[in-house]
A and B are shown apart, each in its own frame.
Chain A
Amino acid sequence: MGFDEIYDRYFARVYGFVRCRLDGAEAAEDVVSRIFERVLDKLDSYHPDRGPFEAWLFTLAGNVVADHYRARRWLSWLPLEAAGDRPESAPLIEDDLAERERRTGLLEALRSLDERQREVLALKFEARMSNQEIAAMTGLSESHVGVLIYRAVRKLKDLLAEEKTP
């Protein structure tokens, strides 16, 4: 599979994976850019006999997100201006209004989840991993992963219901 095909097939999922875990579209754009740059650099090092491509891709993506978290912890000591806090990017014109509202509501709800819950949701819904694969990646037990996902989705449901309530 060539890079163009990978890009077309996985861009939306990689973006979703990052966006589930990060607040702010600008930060997500930076991280997604770094992920695909790294994929471009390291694609030759991927060997199918070591595991499925998606596991390789989302492990790499998870590492870039973790790098971002580490950098952000350092930057949190600096004033906001120095940390380069930037406004949200403008939405696409062709974006449907109802869809945009739905997405905004989901992002707001995701913000309220803790880092671990956001991580497992990103791995489940965007990386499309099984609970067993998530357990192997995170070092948690499979049943613990199942419970984490269940709790996270139920909390998401409650938060979305709160948003709808005037």
Chain B
Amino acid sequence: MNEERDARKFAEVLDALLRGEEAGGSPDPKALEAARLLAETDFSKETDLRRRLRARLSERRRPAALGAWWLMPCAAAALLLFWIARPAPRPDGIREFIARESGRGTVDLRPGRPLPRPTGADALIAARGVVVQGPGVRSVRWELNGNLFVLEARAVTLDDIFERPKLASIVSIE
């Protein structure tokens, strides 16, 4: 019973000591001195763990901090992919293409009309269309980059496509 009472009194004095206040009236003054010694001793001074552990934990935390920086290249890569995968623009028609390359707003592509000269150094065009009207044939001759292309529209018979064997040819083979 006495021990419990002393313990209660000691607890009050000890709490005051740990709060940094004046501690008096201990039932066991020498025990209070031992408590003071224990309270004032810094055990961490026996090791340099504080420095080593701080360095190790900083290393551990660094990748997390760098994670934010890694987001930037990731975002850049995502934007690049988005740009690559964007829908392709509708290709120009020949009229728009020539108009753009020649630097004019509109181009008259009717046969026989002079085409505008290209202004770009590597412009693809330089086309001149001439309609040729003949018996059973209607063609347009295009000149592109100095080469001549002919587009013809005419009625085609089987003889134009297939060769018919002739009797004279057979006889000559025999």
Contacts and interface: CB of A to CB of B under 8 A. Distances in A.
B56 A150 contact: no
B57 A150 contact: no
Interface residues of B, number: 36
B145 to A, nearest CB: 68
A153 B47 contact: no
Contact of B53 (A32, A92, A154, A157): A32
A25 B47 contact: yes
B45 A157 contact: no
24 contacts: A16-B43, A16-B44, A19-B43, A37-B57, A103-B43, A103-B46, A125-B18, A125-B35, A125-B39, A130-B15, A131-B11, A143-B8, A146-B10, A146-B11, A147-B4, A150-B10, A150-B31, A153-B10, A153-B38, A156-B34, A156-B38, A157-B30, A157-B34, A161-B30
B174 interface: no
Contacts of B57: 3, 7, 36-37, 40
Please report whether the interface of chain B is mostly helix, strand, loop or mixed according to DSSP. Answer: helix
A157 B4 contact: no
B60 interface: yes
Given A95-B45, A99-B45, A106-B41, A150 B60 contact: no
B4, B31, B43, B53, most chain A CB atoms within 10 A: B43
Contacts, number: 120
Contact of A157 (B33, B46, B49): B33
Interface in B1-50: 3-4, 6-8, 10-11, 14-15, 18, 28, 30-35, 37-39, 41-50
Given A28-B43, A143-B8, A150-B3, 10 more contacts: A3-B61, A15-B49, A25-B46, A32-B49, A40-B57, A91-B46, A143-B7, A153-B10, A153-B31, A153-B35
Interface in A100-114: 100, 102-103, 106-107
Given A124-B14, A131-B11, A150-B3, A16 B49 contact: no
Interface size class of A (residues with CB under 8 A): 35 or more
A125 to B, nearest CB: 5
